[in-house]
Amino acid sequence: MAVTQEDIARAGVVGAGGAGFPTHVKLSGKADTVVLNAAECEPLLHKDKELILRDAPMIVEGLARAMSLVGAKEAVVGVKAKYAKVIEAMNKALRPNMRIFPLPDVYPSGDEFILVYLTLGRVIAPGAIPLSVGAVVMNVETARNVANVGTTPVVDKYVSVAGAVANPCTVCVPLGTSLAECLELAGGATISNPAYVVGGAMMGRLVPTLDAPVTKTTGGLIVLPEDHFVVQRKSWDWNKTMRVGRAACDQCSRCTELCPRYMLGHPIEPHRAMRSLGFNANREADVAGTQFCCECNLCSYSSCPEGLDPRGVNHQNKARLAAEKKRWVNPPFDPSRADLLMPYRKTPTGRLMKRIGLDGFVNHGPLSGEPYQPKEVHIALRQHIGAPCSPVVNKGDVVTRGQAIAVRPVIDGKVALGADIHASINGTVVDVSPEYVKIAAVS
């Protein structure tokens, strides 16, 4: 079945991780290759691998649709070489002009820029996107959702629940299900002092409670003791990051030497950003490159021998530069650096897990049973980059699973960037606000 970009937008497909870039926009350009991101390099997360093991033909169908839309002649599936069963499942489903690229077990191999370099040997310039080198990157769950266009819109989400839980697993829940219910599906926490990280241990965020709902970009829920290294580091505020960095950074430059984007030839030098904490005269020159930081956290969690937070400094300055609308136009770029450095400075995932204290947790997450049916859902109206969707239902309306409840608004005569949102359960709308639509299940 042929689908259009508008079909994909109406079905609500966005990137199933990260910032949730609308997939119909990504598939509006022209590229010679589609890269399927099955690297899943964040420690303890397994949902993409589990989906491949169960739904490889469906994922390949979504990949084929993406190829057709962008005019690609080839598709490459980037998956870690150590996952032999995953590779076997994909190989059985692959079609002509599709191939597997076995990835090394390193972090962050799932970063789009790193993935394109590893699989295609192409280096994306700072500030550019994969399309600039003829590639489109999509992840496994997104491809699966593209395959469902015309049948089922995006109403469910797969979430890995890991860490200090009774039964680490991957759960399928309707959008709007609370994170607390996801934890219950994994048997609950096994510790008395739990802290919660939503997303991955490296790039995820610490949350105070599990009241928030699952959205289209929720990929993982990791439970850790409140005194765990990862929790403590994510608890640092800017004042502590600045104070400790100013006092202890000795400019060894290991953060820069092991920075994945620096190795690609980008002008990102975390040690110079750290220097700016104490030498304000050169501040702008030292922090200009922070706008190209991918915030993988490798510098802060692994590379720095002093346990400082270069990523936090990059993030603060990156946000400030964006607020001031300062953009480095035509920055220096040395793509030859990738071949010189990248093969010799990879960070093994196993070593990283040991360094940040995750090696003691169960490192698997099998799919768990049938899709969960909650009693109510709080469906967020902003689940993607762009403008929040506008609700098209009212309190008291009876809705069915898959029915559109919010659509992209028209702003200045144009449909805003985004993707439509649908009811994830059958039920009654009990509340509508600018942020959420709350639906109670039919009793």
The helix-helix angle for 84-93 and 47-70 (nearest 10°) equals 30
**Rounded Cα distance, 375 and 440, in Å:** 6
Percent of the chain with pLDDT over 70: 99
Q: Domain for residue 306, yes or no?
A: yes
Residue of 292, 218, 207, 233 whose CA lies nearest to 45: 218
DSSP string, 226-271: TTSHHHHHHT--HHHHHHHHHHH-----HHHHT-HHHHTT-S--HH
End-to-end Cα separation, the chain, in angstroms: 36
Mean pLDDT of 362-384: 93
- Provide the residue type at 399 as one letter: V
Residue 161 and residue 144 share a domain:
no
Q: CB of 393 within 8 A of CB of 420?
A: no
Write out pLDDT tens, residues 164-188: 999 999 999 999 999 999 999 999 9
Boundary of a domain, candidates 148, 179, 198: 148
Domain co-membership, 348 together with 381? no
- pLDDT score, position 284: 83
pLDDT tens-digit map of 111-144: 999 999 999 999 999 999 999 999 999 999 999 9
Q: Of the candidates 113, 148, 183, which is a domain's last residue?
A: 148
Confidence of residue 35 (pLDDT cuts 50, 70, 90): very high
Where among 227, 248, 281 does a domain terminate? 227
- Quote the pLDDT of residue 280: 65
Residue 367 is assigned to a structural domain of this protein: no
Residue 309 contacts residue 290 (beta carbons within 8 Å): no
pLDDT tens-place string over residues 257-304: 999 999 999 999 999 999 999 866 567 889 999 999 999 999 999 999
In the predicted model, what is the mean pLDDT of the chain?
96
CA dihedral 166, 169, 171, 176 (to 10 degrees): 60
- Of the chain, the percentage scoring pLDDT greater than 90 comes to 95
Is residue 82 located within the same domain as residue 116?
Answer: yes
Strand arrangement, sheet containing 74-80: 98-103, 74-80, 33-38, 135-139
Distance CA 385, CA 170 (A): 25
d(C-alpha 287, C-alpha 268), whole Å: 8
pLDDT for 143 equals 98
Q: What is the CATH number of the domain that holds 255?
A: 1.10.1060
Query: Are residues 246 and 278 in contact, defined by beta-carbon separation less than 8 angstroms?
Result: yes
232 found inside a domain: no
What is the H or E stretch that residue 351 is in? helix 349-355
What is the arithmetic mean of pLDDT over 2-28? Answer: 95
Determine the pLDDT at residue 443.
Answer: 72
The answer on 160 and 144 residing in a single domain is: no
Half-sphere exposure of 293 (CA within 13 A, CB side): 32
Residue 366 lies in a domain: no
Residue 339: band (very low, low, confident or very high) from pLDDT cuts 50, 70, 90: very high
Rounded Cα gap, residues 248 and 275, in angstroms: 11
Is 199 a domain residue? yes
How many Å apart are CA 191 and CA 77, to the nearest integer?
Answer: 38
- Contact by Cβ (8 Å): 23, 137: no
Backbone angles phi and psi of 209, in degrees to 5: -140, 175
Structural domain includes residue 368: no
User: What's the CATH code of the domain at 204?
Assistant: 3.10.20.600
**Sequence-ordered list of residues with C-beta below 8 angstroms from that of 431, at least 6 positions apart, any chain:** 395, 437, 438
Q: Do residue 10 and residue 141 come from a single domain?
A: yes
State whether 20 and 97 are in the same domain.
yes
Question: CATH no. for residue 388?
Answer: 2.40.50
Pairing of strands 169-174, 98-103: unpaired
Contact 174, 141 (CB under 8 A): no
- Whether 429 is in a domain gets the answer yes
Q: What's the pLDDT at 156?
A: 97
Question: How much is the pLDDT for 282?
Answer: 63
Same-domain check for residues 337 and 405: no
- The Cβ of residue 134 has, within 10 Å, a number of other Cβ atoms equal to 16
Domain count, the chain: 4
DSSP 8-class letter at 214? P
Whether residue 25 is found in the same domain as residue 132: yes
Q: Residue 193's pLDDT is what?
A: 94
Q: Give the three-class secondary structure for 24.
A: helix
- Let me know: does 60 contact 95? Beta carbons within 8 Å: yes
Beta bridge partners of 390: 407
**Hey, which residues does 225 pair with through a beta bridge?**
194
Please give the Cα distance from 26 to 136 (Å, whole number): 7
Mean pLDDT of 395-420: 96
Take residue 304 and report the two structure tokens written for it. 């720095």
Q: What is the reported pLDDT for 429?
A: 98
pLDDT given at position 147: 98
Does one domain contain both 350 and 436?
A: no
212 and 261 part of one domain = no
Q: What is the CATH number of the domain that holds 10?
A: 3.40.50.11540
- For the chain, the residue count is 443
Q: Running DSSP on this structure, what letter comes out for residue 302? A: I
Query: pTM score, two decimals?
Result: 0.95
Question: Is 365 a member of any domain?
Answer: no
Instruction: Return the CA Rg of the chain.
Output: 22
Query: Would you state the pLDDT for residue 281?
Result: 56
Cis peptide preceding 108, ω within 30 of 0:
yes
**pLDDT classification of 398: cutoffs 50, 70, 90:** very high
- Do 268 and 348 share a structural domain? yes
22 lies in the same domain as 111: yes
> Range of 178's domain?
156-227
CA 21 to chain centre: 10
- pLDDT tens column, 95-115: 999 999 999 999 999 999 999
* 190 pLDDT above the threshold of 90: yes
pLDDT for the residue 18: 82
